[in-house]
Amino acid sequence: MAQAIDAAIAFAEALASPNNRTGTIVFNDVAQTLTPLGASSIDLRAKAMNVRADGGTAISAGLSEAWSVPGW
């Protein structure tokens, strides 16, 4: 899990620019927005440290959550 968190943070940092906005959705059996569009990589780092693997992989819920984010 630590490698996935590190990869997500590195991805957000690599895309950081005034022209790009990233957000983060987490999912297992359900999905939720971890960081909204435009959140900083610092915010992502702080919130991602609390993410834990929980066995579910409801990617369709994650995609639905992403499509419902305002500004997407």
Q: Write out pLDDT tens, residues 3-52.
A: 988 898 898 889 888 888 888 899 888 899 999 988 888 888 899 888 88
Say what the pTM is. Answer: 0.76
Average of per-residue pLDDT values in the chain: 87
Contact, 60 vs 14, CB < 8 A?
no
Three-class SS of residue 18?
coil
Contacts of 29 (CB under 8 A, 6+ apart): 54, 56, 58, 61
